[in-house]
A and B are shown apart, each in its own frame.
Chain A
Amino acid sequence: MSTDESPFEPATPDAPGSIADGRSRPLDPRLIAVQRLARAVFTAVAAFGTLPFVVIVILSAPGGLPGWAPVAFWSAGVGLLVWWAWAWPPVAYRYRSYSVDATSIEIRRGVVFRRIIHVPRSRVQHTDVSQGPIERSYELGTLVIYTAGTDFARIQLDGLAHATALRIRDHLLPDSGPDAV
C-alpha cells in the first residue's frame, strides 16, 4: 500500500483578493452553527413527536416487555440524533472546501466517501443563490450550479457567506456573447 498523502488536505483560510485564485478555501465557519441549529430543530421535533408512541407502547405492552425497553430504544435513537446534530457538523466541516480558478470550480466534501467534483466554467448552464431562514440570520447562502450532466446535473455548495456566494456566481456566469450552436 502506498503512503502517499491523501488529496484531501485541510484548506487554507480565506484570503483577500480575487475569488478565482485557485486556492482551496474552507467554508464559512458559521455553517457549523447553522447546521447545528437546523438539526437541533429536527431532533427536537423527532424526539417529542415520537414520545407519545413510547408511552403508548409502555401502556399497551402485555407485560412481556419490560417497561424500560422502549425508553432505552427511544433514548438511543435520540442520542444518535443529538450526536448527529451537535458533533457531526464540525467533523463534516473539516472535510469540506472549494476552490475557484479562472476556468473552473472544484468542490470537496464527504467524511466517509470523500469526493472532489470539478466543474469547468464553460459547463455551467445556470446558477442559483438561495438563502433559508436560518441561513439568512447568519448571512450565509447556498450556491447551486446546474450542468447538462446526468449524475451531477445539480451541484449544491452551501455554507458560503452570502456575499461570497454572489461573487462566485458572478464569476461563473458565462462571458457575454452568443451561445454557440
Chain B
Amino acid sequence: MPSEQHLHPASILFGLIAQLREFGIPLVFALVAGSRGGLEAIAPLALTLYTLVAVLRYYYYRYRFEEHELVVKHGFFVRNERHIPFARIQNLDAIQNVLHRLLGVVDVRVDTGSGAETDARLSVVTWDAYREMRERVFAGRRTAPATAAEGETDPAAPAELDTPRVLLALPTRELAIHGVIENRGGIVIAGLIGLLWEAGVTERVINRVAGDDVVESGRIRDAIGELWVGGVTLERLGLVVAAIAGVLILIRLLSVVLAIIRLHGFRVSRAGEDLRAEYGLITRVSATIPLRRIQTLTVTDGILHRLFDRVTIRVDTAGGSGPDGGERRRESLAPVIAGTRSEALIREVLPELDLSALAWQAPAEGALTRELRRRLITSAVVAGLAALAIGWYALSLFGLLVAWHSVAAGRTVAHLGWAVVDGAVLFRSGWLRRHLTIARYTRVQSVELVESPFDRRWAMARVSVDTAGAGAASHRVAIPYLTRPAAVALHASLSAAAARTAFHW
C-alpha cells in the first residue's frame, strides 16, 4: 500500500520565507520608508502568525504515489486531495536556490498543462525524493503500451533510457555571447530604477543631480551646464557620445554576467523519451520535458545572432507558459547555439521530420504592395499625430519613416514564407529579428482561414493553425498574403492532415 509522505521539514522555513516575501517585505518597506509608529508592534505578531500557518501547512501537506498517479493532499480548514495521473504530467521541474542547496532540498513543480497555474508544487523535498518521483512519473511511461501514432517516434531501446545523452552543453564563452545577444541588463536596470523610485531614493538623487529643490547642490547639472557654456564643440559632442556608449557597454557587460550566473553549466540531455535541462550557478534548475509534450518549435535569430552566427531555439509545451508567463516562462531549449549545429538539435527533438529539402513558398504577388501601403499609412498617422502634438517640423519624421519602411517592407516580405513537409507545417517571418516556427500536424488543434476586407480586395486570405501552449509572445504559424486558391488549398490540406492524426498529450 503506498504510504503518504511529508515534505521535507525545511518546508516550514521556505513556507515562511514565501509568506514574508509576499507580505513581510512590503511591511519592512513600510517600516523603513514610512517609519510610522505602531508597525513595530505588529511585526512580531505577524511573524508568529506566519510561522504557525507555515507549520500547519507543512503538517497537512502530504503526497503519495499510486500506481498511475500522484496524489497530493493539503489543507487545514478545507481539505483538498488532488490526483494527478502520471500520464498527464507535462513538465516536472526542480528548482534549487542557494538556501535549497545548503539544505540539500529542491522545490518541485508539476505541470499538466491545465492552465496558467502550476498543478502541484512540492516545496520542498529532498533531492532523493525528487529522483524517486522522476523515476515513477516517467517509468510508467516507458512501460506504457506503444500507442505511438503516425509521426510519433518509436519507444527508444531500453538501454538508451538510463544513460542520458548530452545534446547541448554551453561553456561560459557561449553564455557570454548569449548575454550580449539577449541583453537582459537593460531590463534589470529598469527594474532597479523602478524599485528605487518606489523607495523615494530617485527623487533625492534627481534633486542632487538636477538641483530642483536645492539650487546650489545640482552638481551634475552644473557640470552639464558648463559643458554647454562654450557652445557645442566636436570635442564635447564626442564626450557625450562616449558617455552614452559607455553606459550601453556597461549594460551589455551586466547582461553577460547575468547570463553566466543564470545559465551556468547549461546542459540539455536526452534520457529515453525525455529531455532534461539543467542550469544555474546560484539557483539550480532541473527541468524535464517529455519529447511528446513539445507542441511547437521556434528558431529565432536577431541581428546580433547573425553577427555571431548563432540562433535561439525554444519549444512550447502546454503548461509551460501562461498569462503570468513572464517569471515562469521556461528557459529556451537552446538559449544560444551555432547555426550549423541547430539542425542536428532540431532533428533530435523532432526526429520524425525530414527538414533537409524545404520548398519555401513565397507570399502572393501584391504582398509587397500591401505591406508597404500598410506601413506607409501607419507612418502617416503617426507623423500626423506627432505634428499635431509637437509641431510641424515633426513631419520630417514622416520622411524618415518612409525611408525606413520602404526598406523594411521589402525585406520583411522577402523573408516571409511557409513550407509543408511530411508531418508538419513551417512558417517564417520577420526581418531584423527572424522567427521560424515548426508545427507538427499531430499538435495542430484547429486550422483557421481568415479573409479581412483588405484581403478581399486583393483576393487573398490568411491561414493559421492553433496549437496548445502558445504563450502571448510566442511566434505562431499564421500565414498572411496567400492567394485565395492557395489559402483554400492549404486550409483544406492542413485540416485533413490534422484530422488524420491523433492528438496525444
Interface residues of A, Cβ cutoff 8 Å to B:
1-4, 6-8, 103-104, 106, 110, 112-123, 147-152, 155, 180-181
Chain B nearest Cβ from A108, distance in angstroms:
9
How far, in angstroms, from A8 to B455 measured CA to CA in the complex? Answer: 13
The answer to whether A116 touches B504 (Cβ under 8 A) is no
How far, in angstroms, from A52 to B438 measured CA to CA in the complex? Answer: 57
**Complex interface: stretch among B36-44, B141-149, B215-223, B251-259:** B141-149
The answer to whether A149 touches B453 (Cβ under 8 A) is no
Main SS at interface, chain A: loop
Interface bin, chain B: 35 or more
Chain A nearest Cβ from B352, distance in angstroms:
16
Q: Which of B144, B502, B505 contacts A122 (CB 8 A)?
A: B502
Given known contacts A122-B503, A149-B467, A181-B87, A115 and B450 CB-to-CB distance under 8 angstroms = yes
Q: Which of A103, A114, A116, A152 contacts B491 (CB 8 A)?
A: A116
* Binary per-residue interface labels of chain B (451-464) against chain A in the complex, 1 for a CB within 8 Å, 0 otherwise: 11100111101001
The answer to whether B468 touches A7 (Cβ under 8 A) is no
In the complex, whether B318 has a CB less than 8 A from a CB of chain A is yes
Q: Which residue on A lies nearest to B470, using beta carbons?
A: A150
Chain B nearest Cβ from A158, distance in angstroms:
18
The answer to whether B466 touches A120 (Cβ under 8 A) is no
A/B interface sample: 19 pairs, CB < 8 A: A2-B459, A4-B485, A6-B456, A6-B484, A104-B495, A110-B450, A114-B451, A116-B448, A117-B446, A120-B446, A120-B503, A121-B499, A148-B113, A149-B446, A149-B467, A150-B445, A151-B448, A180-B502, A181-B504
Closest 4 CB pairs of A and B: A149-B445, A149-B466, A120-B499, A181-B87
Which residues of chain A are within 8 angstroms of B87 by Cβ–Cβ distance? 181
The answer to whether A112 touches B453 (Cβ under 8 A) is yes
Q: Which of A106, A114, A150 contacts B450 (CB 8 A)?
A: A114
Which residues of chain B are within 8 angstroms of A120 by Cβ–Cβ distance? 444, 446, 495, 498-499, 503
The answer to whether A7 touches B449 (Cβ under 8 A) is yes
Which residues of chain A are within 8 angstroms of B485 by Cβ–Cβ distance? 2, 4
Given known contacts A115-B450, A118-B448, A119-B445, A150 and B144 CB-to-CB distance under 8 angstroms = no
Which residues of chain A are within 8 angstroms of B466 by Cβ–Cβ distance? 147, 149-152
Interface residues of B, Cβ cutoff 8 Å to A:
87, 113, 141, 144, 147, 149, 318, 366, 444-453, 456-459, 461, 464, 466-470, 483-485, 487-488, 491, 495, 498-505
Q: Which residue on B lies nearest to A116, using beta carbons?
A: B449
How far, in angstroms, from A119 to B498 measured CA to CA in the complex? Answer: 9
Which residues of chain A are within 8 angstroms of B487 by Cβ–Cβ distance? 7
Q: A1-B459, A113-B450, A181-B144 are in contact. List 18 more A-B contacts (CB 8 A).
A: A1-B366, A3-B459, A6-B456, A7-B487, A113-B453, A114-B451, A116-B491, A118-B446, A118-B449, A119-B445, A119-B446, A121-B499, A123-B444, A123-B503, A147-B445, A148-B505, A149-B468, A180-B504
The answer to whether B450 touches A181 (Cβ under 8 A) is no
Chain B nearest Cβ from A113, distance in angstroms:
5
Which residues of chain A are within 8 angstroms of B457 by Cβ–Cβ distance? 1
How far, in angstroms, from A108 to B459 measured CA to CA in the complex? Answer: 18
Q: Identify the interface centre among A3, A106, A118: most chain B CB within 10 Å of its CB.
A: A118
The answer to whether B448 touches A122 (Cβ under 8 A) is no
Given known contacts A115-B451, A123-B503, A180 and B147 CB-to-CB distance under 8 angstroms = yes
The answer to whether B484 touches A2 (Cβ under 8 A) is yes
Which residues of chain B are within 8 angstroms of A1 by Cβ–Cβ distance? 366, 457-459
Given known contacts A4-B459, A181-B141, A118 and B502 CB-to-CB distance under 8 angstroms = no
How far, in angstroms, from A99 to B446 measured CA to CA in the complex? Answer: 15
The answer to whether B149 touches A180 (Cβ under 8 A) is yes
The answer to whether A118 touches B495 (Cβ under 8 A) is yes
Q: Identify the interface centre among A8, A104, A106, A123: most chain B CB within 10 Å of its CB.
A: A123
Q: Identify the interface centre among B453, B468, B501, B504: most chain A CB within 10 Å of its CB.
A: B468
Q: Which of A104, A119, A150, A181 contacts B467 (CB 8 A)?
A: A150
How far, in angstroms, from A75 to B448 measured CA to CA in the complex? Answer: 39
Q: Which of A3, A4, A117, A148 contacts B448 (CB 8 A)?
A: A117
Which residues of chain B are within 8 angstroms of A117 by Cβ–Cβ distance? 446-448
Chain A nearest Cβ from B92, distance in angstroms:
15
Q: Which residue on A lies nearest to B471, using beta carbons?
A: A150
How far, in angstroms, from A140 to B20 measured CA to CA in the complex? Answer: 54
Chain A nearest Cβ from B341, distance in angstroms:
30
The answer to whether A148 touches B484 (Cβ under 8 A) is no
The answer to whether B149 touches A118 (Cβ under 8 A) is no
How far, in angstroms, from A112 to B452 measured CA to CA in the complex? Answer: 7
Which residues of chain B are within 8 angstroms of A152 by Cβ–Cβ distance? 445-446, 448, 466
Chain B nearest Cβ from A115, distance in angstroms:
5
Chain B nearest Cβ from A136, distance in angstroms:
29
Which residues of chain B are within 8 angstroms of A6 by Cβ–Cβ distance? 451, 456, 484
Q: Which of B318, B447, B499, B504 contacts A103 (CB 8 A)?
A: B499
Chain A nearest Cβ from B389, distance in angstroms:
27
The answer to whether B499 touches A148 (Cβ under 8 A) is no
How far, in angstroms, from A180 to B366 measured CA to CA in the complex? Answer: 45
Which residues of chain B are within 8 angstroms of A181 by Cβ–Cβ distance? 87, 141, 144, 147, 504-505
Q: Which residue on B lies nearest to A150, using beta carbons?
A: B470
Which residues of chain A are within 8 angstroms of B458 by Cβ–Cβ distance? 1
Chain A nearest Cβ from B448, distance in angstroms:
5
